[in-house]
Copies of this chain bind each other. A is one copy, B any other.
Amino acid sequence: MKFSPLVDELIQSLRCLPGIGPKSAQRMAFQLLERDRVAGTKLANTLAQAMLDVGHCQSCRTFTEDALCPICVSHKRGHANVLCVVETPADVLAIEAGGHFNGRYFVLLGHLSPLDGVGPEELGLNLLEKQLADGGISELILATNPTVEGDATAHFIADIARHYQVSVSRIAHGVPVGGELEYVDSTTLALSFNGRLPL
């Protein structure tokens, strides 16, 4: 026992946060105890409520405490019939930050990984197929990560979508804006050549 039981337990509990080791957890615990009990209590309450109430959007599977997420219920999405498939809710945020996409999303919450027991069902692909079957979706943009698993997932979804009247595309991979060719890896360079556009 290093400190009193409750302080020890707080430090241990903080270690469930990603990237937080024993030293950081200790620093966090002391900071909250010493300087900011109000914020600490608020965090405790919000955390308890979120762990209990936050579920998945019935339409796009992102995190929300309501039946549908703000994007799915919004009437301001001009291209509501365009569906962008991403791996995580953070990807939704990254795309929304750009502000160039005005359709809806479908969040897989992962990628196909049979060895980890993640198959089509875990990714909610039956829900996606149902949405495709119901009609109302004219285009599917596959924005999974450019990794082996992300690519495999994209191809798997493209195969499903082929049965329906939907145009399917994959986001472009190539040299990022501001990047220097010299430092870009050869696979990315090859992709950027394959995906070249007429000018």
Residue ranges of A at the interface with B (Cβ–Cβ < 8 Å): 1-7, 9-10, 13-14, 16-19, 24, 26-34, 36-37, 39-54, 62-66, 69-70, 88-90, 93, 96, 109
A44 proximity list for chain B (CB < 8 A): 43-45, 47-48, 51
Given contacts A2-B93, A6-B50, A93-B2, contact A16 B39 (CB under 8 A): yes
A16 proximity list for chain B (CB < 8 A): 32, 36, 39-40, 42-43
Closest to A4 in B: B64
A43 proximity list for chain B (CB < 8 A): 13-14, 16-17, 44, 47
Main secondary structure of the interface of A (DSSP, over half): helix
Closest to A7 in B: B63
A27 proximity list for chain B (CB < 8 A): 18-19, 90
8 further A-B contacts with Cβ under 8 Å, apart from A16-B32, A16-B42, A17-B17, are A3-B69, A3-B70, A4-B63, A7-B54, A10-B47, A10-B54, A30-B88, A40-B47
Alpha-carbon separation in the docked complex, A14 to B44 (Å): 9
A7 proximity list for chain B (CB < 8 A): 50, 54, 63-65
